[in-house]
Amino acid sequence: MAIQRAIGYWLVELDRLISKRFDEDLAAGELSRRHWQMLHSLADGPQRADDLRDALAAFWTHDSEWSSELADVTDRGWVADDAGMLALTETGRGTHDQAWVRIRERRRRMVEGITDEQYTETVRVLQRMAENMAGAPSAGQPTGTPARSIG
């Protein structure tokens, strides 16, 4: 009998595969995931450094990463920092656009066989689950809803 995997397994497995595949795609352009997140966030136009840092805060493992990653993208000539206002340089735009071709294709392949409605609903459900967990009572406190397998 095949093991039935619950949502926890699939979330971890998907995260692992997304990280692995996207890292491979980005490495082709000598980019890290953090580089990509910064460049892609600036692709639509300049942003205040504080706003960008806050928008990407969930991805930093340590507070010191922001400073070192920002220094790295500016040292590589991809991002200009004008008194705390960050913008892609021409080189940064080219680096972003080349990586975007690979990332867009990876994203397309990731959702093959999934309708727009299914994708939207999946994101909505995951968002709701995260919101529920953010405000979850401690274990042992009744919630009035029967538990489902979340393994």
**Number of compact structural domains in the chain:** 1
CATH number at residue 51: 1.10.10.10
31: which residues sit within 8 A by CB, 6+ positions away?
A: 39, 95, 99
Evaluate whether residue 149 is within a structural domain.
Answer: no
Tell me the pTM.
0.75
The answer to whether residue 39 scores a pLDDT higher than 60 is yes
89-129 tens-digit pLDDT: 999 999 999 999 999 999 999 999 999 999 999 999 999 99
Q: Phi/psi zone of residue 67: left (φ > 0), alpha (ψ -120 to 50 degrees), beta?
A: alpha
46-91 tens-digit pLDDT: 999 999 999 999 888 887 889 999 999 999 999 999 999 999 999 9
Evaluate whether residue 93 is within a structural domain.
Answer: yes
Evaluate whether residue 44 is within a structural domain.
Answer: yes
